[in-house]
Amino acid sequence: MLPDLDELEASLLNVSGNVKLDVRFRALFTLKGLAALSQDKCERVIEIIAKGFTDDSALLKHEMAYVLGQLKDTHALYHLENVLNDPQQHSMVRHEAAEAMGAISSPKALPILNKYVRDDPDVAIRETCHLAIHKIELDNSEAGRAERELQAQRDKEHGDAIAAAARAAAPIDPAPAIVHVPREGDASSVYTLENVPHFRQVLLDSSLSLFERYRAMFALRNTVQQGGEDAQEPAVKALVDGLSDKSALFRHEICFVFGELCHPACIPAMSRVLRDGSEHEMVRHEAAEALGAVLEEGGQDTEASEVMDTLRQYAHDESAPRVVRESCVVALDEIAYNNDPTQFQRIE
């Protein structure tokens, strides 16, 4: 029996006033899963989520905007534009709204993105709009279509049905991973140990556009996932090197990638970011979520204990920004939930 949409709406919007934040997050991602069942359900889910942008939790609203983008439905554009247009919204929420427009990838979003890439006083908003514009333009170009066909052909030639299915279900990236490497030859995949130095060079080259560097970032992520065990730690280390970049948006996305990877080699770097009181709150928030994701996948006992102590510390650190504290609280609650065998797992 499917979860009831009215009950999920009441939970997400905290109608009773006593729904815990982690429960609201689970309601949000259950709604995301239900939206895939039919167009009618998708449109209903969009309307439910849109009601939540009056909430006082920037973390939750940021996640709501993210989900709207992942639904890849143009019905969400109106609500995302309203968020981006609202200067009273937290910059993290506005940033995520712009990124979500890029995920939906409709040229209809280009006018508002072009407005804020030029005029917004917040550099993270301008940078996000830059990424979204380039993604939409690439996705709707012959070059973008050719890249997608190339990846599909690689999957077909090598019978990699599992990898193809995983890619189809994966989150929509703010920039597609690099698919061509100079002198790659006839390799079935570019995501190999030998190409890590090339991806790292592009990642760290500040003379290139942010979009190109993001593409290298996701190529390194793919290398961790697809390049074999010997490629994992070198690719993780290359991503860690990117944390010295001057762009908070760039650093935040690297932390997000580590949350996707759940690789224990990222724990020292993510712990260091979370503990850094001078770091931008959006970066620390993603570091907290990445640490939680590593533990959800099961870490070493000593590592797990240290990470849990760090998350508990900052969950209760009143000097830390609210979005950082809430990220730690949600990470801890999700770890407990996902390690409780009596719980059903959410639909995603």
* pLDDT average, residue stretch 100-120: 97
Of all residues in the chain, what percent carry a pLDDT higher than 70?
Answer: 91
- The position carrying tokens 């333009």 is 137
Q: Confirm if 99 and 286 have CB atoms less than 8 A apart.
A: no
Domain ranges of the chain: 1-140
Residue 54, both tokens: 């009056």
Q: Which residue has the higher pLDDT, 305 or 202?
A: 202
Residue 339 reports pLDDT greater than 60: yes
Q: Confirm if 337 and 343 have CB atoms less than 8 A apart.
A: yes
Residue 346 reports pLDDT greater than 60: no
Is 1-140 in CATH node 3.40.50.720? no
Residue 98, both tokens: 């712009």
pLDDT score for 338: 78
Residues whose CB is less than 8 angstroms from the CB of residue 244 and which lie 6 or more positions away in sequence, other chains included: none
Q: What is the CA radius of gyration of the chain?
A: 20
Residue 160 exposed, middle or buried by CB count within 10 Å (0-12, 13-18, 19+): middle
pLDDT score for 163: 63
- The position carrying tokens 């973390």 is 59
Mean pLDDT of the chain: 92
286 is in an annotated binding site: yes
Angle between helices 77-85 and 39-50 (to 10 degrees): 20
pLDDT score for 78: 98
Reported as a pLDDT band with limits 50, 70 and 90, residue 65 is very high
Could you report the per-residue pLDDT of 142-197, keeping only the tens digit for each?
999 999 888 888 777 666 666 666 666 778 999 999 998 887 655 567 999 999 99
Residues whose CB is less than 8 angstroms from the CB of residue 266 and which lie 6 or more positions away in sequence, other chains included: 236, 239, 240, 258, 290, 294
Residue 308, both tokens: 């849990």
Stated length of the chain: 348
Closest C-alpha to 294, from 283, 282, 310:
310
pLDDT score for 300: 56
Residue 55 exposed, middle or buried by CB count within 10 Å (0-12, 13-18, 19+): middle
Report CA-CA distances (Å) from 18 to 45, 172, 309, 327: 22, 32, 26, 18
| 159: number of Cβ within 10 Å | 9
Task: Quote the CA–CA distance of 52 and 236 in Å, as a whole number.
Answer: 36
- DSSP labels for 24-93? HHHHHHHHHHHHTT-HHHHHHHHHHHHGGGGSS-HHHHHHHHHHHHHHT-GGGHHHHHHHHH-TTS-HHH
194 is in an annotated binding site: no
Q: Give exposure, 288-307, as e/b (b: 16+ Cβ within 10 Å).
A: bbbbbbbbbeebeeebbebb
Reported as a pLDDT band with limits 50, 70 and 90, residue 82 is very high
* pLDDT average, residue stretch 51-79: 98
pLDDT score for 92: 97
Residue 262 exposed, middle or buried by CB count within 10 Å (0-12, 13-18, 19+): middle
Of 44-58, 155-169, 287-301, the range with the lowest mean pLDDT is 155-169
62 is in an annotated binding site: yes
Residue 274, both tokens: 């979370």
Q: Give exposure, 197-230, as e/b (b: 16+ Cβ within 10 Å).
A: ebbbebbeeeeeebbbbbbbbbbbbbbbbbbeee
Could you report the per-residue pLDDT of 271-280, keeping only the tens digit for each?
999 999 999 9
318 is in an annotated binding site: no
Residue 238 reports pLDDT greater than 90: yes
Task: Quote the CA–CA distance of 77 and 43 in Å, as a whole number.
Answer: 12
Task: Quote the CA–CA distance of 298 and 187 in Å, as a whole number.
Answer: 33
Amino acid at 140: N
